[in-house]
Amino acid sequence: DGGITQSPKYLFRKEGQNVTLSCEQNLNHDAMYWYRQDPGQGLRLIYYSQIVNDFQKGDIAEGYSVSREKKESFPLTVTSAQKNPTAFYLCASLNRGGTEAFFGQGTRLTVV
């Protein structure tokens, strides 16, 4: 079955450490997204990519980095520069017409 796989589901990080969240899709979608979900703030766009080897900053890109070396993969790195990294992170992809979005199950990151 086609879909988006995020791993891990839960992640704990020590302050000062970088951590990378995985997002893989087998839907052959060009567009992929990373969102951060916090209570009362909805889903805020961190980064998105419309095509391999290209990506754009979203509304809250500071302290995050991404890469898009393969169409199927769009990993997100939460760097030590991110002041408040504890959150739920959601990866998504969008079909070519922009009419259907698919979401991963999310990764809950906790900084300890």
Partner 1 sequence: AQSVSQHNHHVILSEAASLELGCNYSYGGTVNLFWYVQYPGQHLQLLLKYFSGDPLVKGIKGFEAEFIKSKFSFNLRKPSVQWSDTAEYFCAVNEGGFQKLVFGTGTRLLVSP
Which residues make up the interface to partner 1 (CB under 8 A)? 30-31, 33, 35, 40-45, 48, 50, 56, 59, 90, 92, 94, 97-101, 103, 105-106
Q: 3-class DSSP state for residue 111?
A: strand
Is the CB of 80 or the CB of 103 nearer to partner 1? Answer: 103
- Minimum CB–partner distance for residue 66 and partner 1 (Å): 15
Is the CB of 53 or the CB of 105 nearer to partner 1? Answer: 105
Closest Cα to residue 31, out of 82, 99, 93? 93
Is the CB of 19 or the CB of 29 nearer to partner 1? Answer: 29
- Minimum CB–partner distance for residue 71 and partner 1 (Å): 14
Is the CB of 58 or the CB of 63 nearer to partner 1? Answer: 58
Measure the CA–CA gap between 44 and 26, rounded to whole angstroms.
Answer: 24
- Minimum CB–partner distance for residue 19 and partner 1 (Å): 22
- SS3 of 52-81: CCEEEECCCCCCEEECCCECCECCEEECCC
Task: Kindly list the distances between the CA atom of residue 26 and the CA atoms of 11, 68, 74, 101, in Å, as whole numbers in the listed order.
Answer: 23, 14, 12, 13
